[in-house]
């Protein structure tokens, strides 16, 4: 026979409604009562009926996560896995489940969001990208539906978001390259409609301007996708124009492609190469890739935190978190 909420209440010597409030994370329940109830829950191996609870509370304790990539490409970019890990760790800690959706473009993302809201399948939504004139953000705001964005939104008023300071991060590493003697620095990015790409390009430009280096648009490549193939294509075009002192990229996968291009073109001169995201394979490149660690897992963790706090009316003054970055130096930068 399965254990019921009444069994837990009887064993803990509290009312069934108190057990329900403890499981829902009600802040008005005393810490002593919470501990006593949770000890009984564990002892009896009680599993609450999520469906029944959602009918009573009009909540699902489920978050919708919209992935801006197809399922076939998910594991090609470790950034998504790292962010999802952070989200899952915090959500599980607070008793929430995650519902994933894969999308190939912005319109498909929007269709999933509309479906989630209309079917009342989730309490809140996590977006993994922020675009210029973002349709998804505009729709969620118009529906007054709870959501958080991993990325800097165009308009930040009344929006929950988590991001790095991407302008500062790119400006800092490019400035370091300039100070150590690099004057000709190429830039490879992708997804020019994404705010993260816009911010990193701005950081690159700021560093050049600060050191009176003329911006050369022939050294800047904005590709369609964050992958190794696009990085190689971009680097091939740059090398046909000139051999730069250094190449900065907005993603490690683009840097992997640039590194391959340099080898395939038999370039004998050393070119400093820099990536972003510090993916696990970065240190196994030859030479090992220097990369900016954006703490992707932490981005996901705090995105889940700020959204769940908002859903449970645990409001504080925080509407956004800026997650620190740090440069991991390896052999690709001398």
Tell me, letter by letter, the H, E, C secondary structure of 270-305: CCEEEEECCCHHHHHCCCCCEEEECCHHHHHHHHHH
Residues 6+ apart with CB under 8 A from 199: 152, 166, 167, 170
Q: Are β-strands 290-293 and 185-190 bridged in parallel, bridged antiparallel, or unpaired?
A: unpaired
Q: Quote the pTM value.
A: 0.82
Stretch 142-161: mean pLDDT: 93
In angstroms, rounded to a whole number, what is the distance separating the alpha carbons of residues 182 and 233? Answer: 23
Rounded CA gap, 10 and 271, in Å?
Answer: 71
For residue 55, what pLDDT is reported?
47
The CA–CA distances, whole Å, from 186 to 40, 95, 291 equal: 61, 46, 16
Q: Where does the pLDDT of residue 315 fall: very low under 50, low under 70, confident under 90, or very high at 90 and above?
A: low
What the chain holds in terms of domains, given with CATH numbers, is: 5-48 (1.10.260.40), 62-164+296-324 (3.40.50.2300), 166-293 (3.40.50.2300)
Return the pLDDT at 78.
Answer: 84
The tokens 């992707």 sit on which residue?
A: 296
Kindly tell me if the per-residue pLDDT of 331 is higher than 60: yes
Asked whether residue 145 carries a pLDDT value surpassing 60, the answer given is: yes
**DSSP 3-state of 196:** helix
With beta carbons less than 8 A apart as the criterion, state whether 103 and 112 touch.
Answer: yes
pLDDT digits (tens, 9 = 90+) for 36-72: 888 888 888 887 665 555 545 567 899 999 887 655 5
Q: Would the pLDDT of 136 be above 60?
A: yes
């Amino acid at each position: 026979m399965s254990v019921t909420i009444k069994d837990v209440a009887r064993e803990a010597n509290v009312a069934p409604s108190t057990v329900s409030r403890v499981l829902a994370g009600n802040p008005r329940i005393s810490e002593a009562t919470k501990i006593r109830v949770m000890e009984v829950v564990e002892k009896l191996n009680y599993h609450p009926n999520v469906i029944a609870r959602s009918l009573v509370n009009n909540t699902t304790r489920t978050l919708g996560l919209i992935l801006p990539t197809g399922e076939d490409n998910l594991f090609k970019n470790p950034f998504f896995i790292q962010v999802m890990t952070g989200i899952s760790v915090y959500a599980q800690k607070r008793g929430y489940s995650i519902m994933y959706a894969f999308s190939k473009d912005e319109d498909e993302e929007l269709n999933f969001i509309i479906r989630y809201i209309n079917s009342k399948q989730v309490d809140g939504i996590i977006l993994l990208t922020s675009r210029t004139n973002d349709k998804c953000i505009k729709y969620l705001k118009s529906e007054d539906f709870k959501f958080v964005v991993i990325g800097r939104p165009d308009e930040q008023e009344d929006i929950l978001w988590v991001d790095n300071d991407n302008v500062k991060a790119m400006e800092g590493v490019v400035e370091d390259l300039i100070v150590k003697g690099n004057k000709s620095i190429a830039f490879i990015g992708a997804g020019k409609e994404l705010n993260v790409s816009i911010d990193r390009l701005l950081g690159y430009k700021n560093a050049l301007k600060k050191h009176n280096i003329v911006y050369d648009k022939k050294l800047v490549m904005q590709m369609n996708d964050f992958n190794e193939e696009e990085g190689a294509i971009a680097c091939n075009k740059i090398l046909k124009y000139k051999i730069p002192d250094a190449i900065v990229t907005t993603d490690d996968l683009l840097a992997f492609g640039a590194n391959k291009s340099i080898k395939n073109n038999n370039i004998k001169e050393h070119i400093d190469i820099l990536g972003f995201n510090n993916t696990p394979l970065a240190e196994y490149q030859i030479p090992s890739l220097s990369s900016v660690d954006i703490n992707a897992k932490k981005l996901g963790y705090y995105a889940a935190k700020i959204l769940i706090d908002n859903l449970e009316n645990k409001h504080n003054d925080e509407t956004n978190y800026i997650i620190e970055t740090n440069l991991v130096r390896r052999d690709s930068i001398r």
